[in-house]
């Protein structure tokens, strides 16, 4: 029994659901989860996520692709099909703050996050012991603002299917993004679009906001501007001094990042323009 996930998007048109569900039925599949979204009920963009079980051992991803490519052609659509048995390899970049690293490792270890972790890269040597106890390769790459050592990072990153910047302090260049070519998820410790850049909690304190937040988003070339995947927020008051905002914020960062990564690994995210659909 195999489980597949199909993500499919195109300009809205009649009959897409019928065509796709008929196709799945013909392969002997049973749809166990269907989520659909249209940007505009009277003719916008159409998105669907279909999760289905297939009993036939001969039905694999390639086999399904051969049929889907035809349907996609009919609707001028983009699609991706995933076999849920394939485990994604999640590379981690992290600087000194370790709460997100700790949390990701816990989620992975406890089976809540179904990934392999091919490596953890850090400019902070002291994370080595914690990481290596779980038999995860640890690479110390002492980047600085002037010398980010991107070619070294890139060489390591090659063994991953996607990257998580779990509080990584250096901006990755457009060249790096282009060469890596796969998805990168970042956690920003602020409620975007407010408080971009450095020290967002300090900015929040100075502004006197009554709510703080954290934002997980895809990385693009523009600092803290990529499509938002998940946000978490908490109420604060004048009593919360900076260290308290940071403490509460760490919680929010863990929650937003975990939520984003779990959705990603479960193939629930579709990027569309500068935004995301998270089914």
Question: Which CB, 36 or 179, lies closer to a copy of itself?
Answer: 36
Q: How far is the CB of 146 from a copy of itself (least distance, A)?
A: 29
* Cα-based torsion angle of the residue sequence 213, 218, 224, 230 in order, rounded to the nearest 10 degrees: -10
Question: Which CB, 105 or 153, lies closer to a copy of itself?
Answer: 105
CA 235 – CA 255 distance, rounded (Å): 15
Q: Which two tokens stand for residue 57?
A: 């051992």
Q: How far is the CB of 99 from a copy of itself (least distance, A)?
A: 7
Question: Which CB, 140 or 235, lies closer to a copy of itself?
Answer: 235
Q: What angle do CA 163, 169, 173 make, to 5 degrees?
A: 65
Q: Which residues pair with 11 in a beta bridge?
A: 45
Q: Which two tokens stand for residue 120?
A: 């953890």
Q: What is the DSSP letter of 127?
A: G
Q: How far is the CB of 119 from a copy of itself (least distance, A)?
A: 21
CA 247 – CA 252 distance, rounded (Å): 9
3-state secondary structure of 221: coil
Q: How far is the CB of 2 from a copy of itself (least distance, A)?
A: 12
C-alpha closest to that of 115 among 159, 179, 57, 181: 159
Residues 72/79, Cβ–Cβ less than 8 Å: yes
Question: Which CB, 160 or 215, lies closer to a copy of itself?
Answer: 215
Active site residue 224: yes
Q: Which of 98, 103, 224, 240 is catalytic?
A: 224
Residues that bind a copy of itself (CB under 8 A): 1, 3, 12-18, 21-22, 24-25, 28-38, 40-42, 48, 51, 53, 98-99, 102, 106, 110, 112, 129, 133, 191-195, 207-211, 213, 227-233, 235, 237-239, 241, 247, 250-251, 255, 274-278
Residues 185/92, Cβ–Cβ less than 8 Å: no
Question: Which CB, 153 or 216, lies closer to a copy of itself?
Answer: 216
Q: How far is the CB of 225 from a copy of itself (least distance, A)?
A: 9
Catalytic residues: 224
């Amino acid at each position: 029994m195999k489980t597949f996930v199909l993500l499919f998007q195109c300009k809205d048109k009649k009959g897409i659901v019928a065509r796709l569900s008929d196709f799945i039925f013909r392969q002997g599949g049973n749809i166990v989860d269907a989520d659909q979204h249209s940007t505009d009920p009277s003719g916008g963009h159409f998105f669907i996520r279909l999760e289905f079980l297939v009993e036939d051992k001969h039905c694999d991803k390639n086999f399904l692709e051969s049929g889907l490519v035809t349907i996609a052609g009919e609707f001028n659509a983009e699609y991706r099909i995933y076999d849920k048995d394939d485990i994604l390899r999640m590379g981690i970049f992290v600087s000194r703050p370790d709460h997100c690293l700790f949390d990701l490792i816990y989620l992975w270890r406890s089976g809540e996050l179904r990934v392999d972790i091919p490596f953890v890269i850090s400019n902070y040597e002291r994370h080595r012991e914690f990481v290596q106890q779980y038999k995860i390769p640890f690479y110390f790459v002492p980047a600085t603002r002037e010398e980010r050592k991107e070619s070294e990072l890139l060489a390591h990153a090659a063994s991953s299917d996607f990257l998580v910047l779990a509080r990584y302090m250096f901006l990755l260049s457009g060249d790096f993004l282009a060469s890596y070519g796969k998805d990168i998820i970042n956690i920003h410790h602020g409620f975007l679009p407010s408080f971009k850049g450095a020290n967002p909690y300090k900015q929040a304190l100075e502004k006197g906001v009554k709510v703080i937040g954290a934002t997980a988003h895809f990385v693009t070339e523009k600092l803290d501007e990529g499509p938002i995947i998940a946000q978490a927020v908490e109420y604060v008051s004048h009593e919360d001094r900076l260290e308290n905002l940071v403490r509460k914020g760490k919680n929010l960062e863990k929650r937003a990042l975990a939520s984003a990564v779990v959705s990603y690994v479960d193939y629930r995210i579709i990027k569309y323009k500068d935004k995301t659909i998270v089914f």
